[in-house]
Structure 1
Amino acid sequence: MASLTVHLGQAQCFLGAYPNKSPHRLSRLLVRAEKREDPNPGLGLKAVWYGAEAFGNLIGLTKPKDQQKSASDLQDVYTREEAVAAIRKDYDTNYFVSGKGEMSAYEKDCLFADPFAGFNGVDRFKKNVSNLGSLMEDIKLDLLEWTETDEALQTKWRFSAVLTLPWRPRLAASGGTTHVFSKETGRVIEHIESWDVEPAAVVKSLLRPSSRAPANSFVEFFRAVDGGDAAGAWSAATPALLKYYALPVVAVSLITKAVTGEGLPGFFLGTIEGFTYLVAFAGGATEIGKLIKRR
C-alpha cells in the first residue's frame, strides 16, 4: 500500500499548481498524488503542456466562436442521477478529446488535474481540448469501467487519435478519471485524470510518425529522431534548412558584400553568417551525395 505521507516538496508543488484551495481539498489532492509513482512530471513536461496550451490558443483564433453555454449559465443544483446522466452524455461526445460536451454538471471553477498540470475552470478546459481536438482525427475512445461511489464517479478509458501534423503522429493512452461531487450542489468540483502510461512516453510518441511509409520529409525526420538516427534526421532536414534558412541568408550576405564590401553587420549577425555558410556547405554536400546515390 502506498504511503500516505505528504512530503514537503510535493506540498510546495501542489500548492503552486492549485492556489486558493481549502486545506481539506488540498489534503485530498496531496494524498491522491502521493499514491501516483511520479506526482511531479518535471519542468520539461510542464513546459510541453503549457506550450501545447499556447499553441492551441493560436489555433483557436482561427475557429468560429463557440456558441455552447458557459458553465456560469447552467443550473446551480443537481441530483446525483442528473449529474451522472449529464456526464455520461459528455462521454458520448468524447468530451475530453473533442471539447464538444456541454459539461453542465461541473462547477464553474472545477479543478482539472492530470499527470502534466492542474488548473481551475470549465471554460478553460473546454477551450483547451476543443482547440487541440481540432488537430485530431480517427479518434477512438472506449469506456472500459464506470463505478459510482458516495463521493465520486470513477471511470476507466482507452483512446487513440492521429494528429493532423505533417508527420501525422498517433497519440494513444489509457487511464481513468475521478469525478468528485460537491455535497452542497451535486456538481463536479474535481476532475482528476490518471494515466496508465508515463507522461514522458506520451510526449515521445508525438515524435513518432504513424505512417510506415516515408510520405514526406517531416515523416522521415521524425522517424529518424525517434530511432536515434542523427544522420538520417540531418538528411531529412537538409532540403528545408537550405530552402528556408541557409540559401536566403547566404544570398543576403553575398548581396551585402557586393554593395558594402563587408558581410552582414554586427558581431552577432556575423556569427550567424559564418554558421549559415557552414550549414549551406554541409547541406549542399548532403544533397549532392543523395543525387549521386540515386544515380
Structure 2
Amino acid sequence: MTPPDSSRTSTLLDRPAAPLGTTSGTVPGTASRPLPEPSADASNRAAGQVLVAVSWLVGAALVVLVARLLRGPSEALYLAITARTADLPGSELVAEGGVLVLLGLCAVVAWRSRRAGASAVGTTLVAGAGAVVAYAASEAVKSLVRQPRGCWELVEVAHCPAAGDWSFPSNHTAIAFALATAVVLAGAPAVRVPGAVPARHAYRSPLRDVALWVVLPVALAVAVASARVAQGVHFPHDVVAGAAVGVAVVVATVTVLAGPATVAVTAACRVDGVRRVLLARPS
C-alpha cells in the first residue's frame, strides 16, 4: 500500500491557528473588526435618508409657521406692491404660463432620462410624484388655515378668485417651486441633494446645462410667485410658504424614494414591453 502524500493532505491540527485578537468572521490584522455587513450598511443609509427628508419637512413647516406669524408686515408690503402693480398687464400670463413651461421642462427631463438608464428614470418618476404630493400638501394647509385673500378685503383686482378659494399658502407657487425642484434634481447632474440622486450623476455639468436645468426653472418659479403677488391675489407670505412646501416635499420624496424607485424600474424593465417604454435603449 502506497503511503498518502503528506503534501496533499491536511487536518485541522495541521492548519495554523488564527492570530490572537481575531475571531471567525474577522480579517487578520484588522484589530478584531468584524467583516462589513451590507444589510447593516443599507439600513444605516436608509435611516440617514429618512433623517434628511424629515429635516427638510420640519424646516418647511417652520418656514410656513413663521410666514403665517408675519402676516401683518406682509399685508403692509402687499398694499405697497399692489398699489403699483394691480393693473399691470401680463401678470396672469406670467403666472399661468410659467407653470406650463415648467411642466414642459419636466416632460423634456422625463424624455431625456430614458437614455440615462433605470436610475435616472426612477429619480424622474419620483420627482414628478413629489410635485403632485407638494400640491396636495399645499391644498391641505390652505383648507386648514382658511386665510382670506387680500383682494377680498383690502384691494380690488381684475381677477380675484371666488370666495372659498383661500389664500395661504399659494398653490401656484407651491406647484411652480415643486416642478422647478423636480427639474433641478432629475435634470441637472451637477446640483443634487446628498443621497437623493444616484452617485453616477455626480459629474460636473456644463454651464449650458446648469443654465437650462437649474437657472431657468428656478427663475420661472420665482416669476410665478412674484406675478401672483403683483396680481394682488396673494400676500408675500403666501408665496414664501408655498415655495417652502414645494421645495421641501419634492426633496424629501426624492431623497427617500429614488433608490427604491430605481430598483422597481430595473425589475420592471425585465419585461420587454415595459423596457421599451421606459428606456430609449432597451437592448
TM-score by length of 2: 0.21
Bigger fraction of residues in strand:
1
| Greater Cα radius of gyration, structure 1 or 2 | 2
TM-score by length of 1: 0.21
